[in-house]
């Protein structure tokens, strides 16, 4: 084995390990925030790979249209929810979060598509366009489902310690507080 092959194998191992670390970190962060194991997290990795490949081929990535569609749906859902609850004073912040911020990386990728870009620019644009996908999906799918299901049980709202669960079990079993 020549030193060049050893360096190439080391570089390949480090980059593959970094990808696995990022995927694991993403799954852990999503689980900590939502308390739901987000199984389709692999689609974010797939969108990233397809976006980088499209940018290298000097084509428009499909993730631009995905982000714009998700942003439009999330903005409409948020505006409707705010209007229904009578909180229209919060609409500018919602428009900024769900309409303006996701459109900025989409516009950057749209402007850069078709040009010969250095690899680091393609990776930065890929990260910028893929990052809004998960928060927008959360707003569309999970946040609206949580409102339909109802609030969390009381022991989750108070911090979810084991003491609350035990005291709730005692109340249910005996009918009186411990």
What is the per-residue pLDDT for 76?
A: 94
Q: Quick one: angle between helices 101-112 and 63-85, nearest 10?
A: 160
Cα 26 to Cα 138: distance, rounded to the nearest angstrom: 14
Q: How many CB atoms lie within 10 A of CB 38?
A: 19
This prediction's pTM: 0.61
What is the per-residue pLDDT for 145?
A: 56
- pLDDT string in tens for the chain (178-residue length): 898 999 999 988 888 888 888 778 877 777 777 666 656 666 777 888 889 889 999 999 999 999 999 999 999 999 999 998 899 999 999 999 999 999 999 999 999 988 888 988 988 999 999 999 988 988 888 776 555 555 555 545 555 555 555 555 555 556 555 5
Cα 152 to Cα 145: distance, rounded to the nearest angstrom: 12
Q: Would you say how long the chain is, in residues?
A: 178
By C-alpha distance, which of 114, 128, 116, 71 is closest to 94? Answer: 71
Query: Cβ(46)–Cβ(23) under 8 Å?
Result: no
Say which residues have a Cβ less than 8 Å from residue 75's Cβ, sequence separation at least 6. Answer: 94, 95, 98, 99
* Tokens describing residue 164: 């609350």
* Tokens describing residue 138: 């959360």
C-alpha separations of 174 from 33, 154, 163, 166 in Å = 34, 18, 16, 12
What is the per-residue pLDDT for 96?
A: 93
By C-alpha distance, which of 96, 121, 95, 98 is closest to 109? Answer: 121
């Amino acid at each position: 084995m020549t030193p060049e092959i050893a360096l190439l194998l080391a570089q390949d191992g480090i980059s593959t390990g970094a990808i696995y670390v990022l995927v694991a970190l993403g799954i852990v962060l999503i689980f900590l925030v939502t308390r739901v194991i987000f199984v389709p997290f692999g689609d974010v990795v797939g969108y990233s790979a397809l976006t980088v490949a499209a940018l290298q081929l000097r084509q428009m990535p499909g993730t631009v249209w995905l982000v714009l569609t998700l942003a439009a749906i999330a903005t409409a859902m948020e505006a409707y929810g705010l209007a229904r609850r009578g909180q229209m004073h919060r609409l500018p912040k919602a428009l900024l979060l769900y309409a303006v911020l996701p459109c900025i990386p989409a516009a950057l990728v749209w402007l850069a598509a078709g040009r010969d870009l250095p690899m680091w620019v393609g990776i930065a644009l890929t990260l910028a366009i893929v990052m809004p996908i998960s928060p927008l999906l959360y707003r569309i799918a999970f946040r609206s489902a949580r409102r339909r299901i109802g609030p969390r049980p009381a022991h989750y709202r108070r911090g979810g310690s084991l003491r609350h669960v035990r005291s709730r079990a005692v109340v249910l079993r005996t009918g009186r507080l411990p």
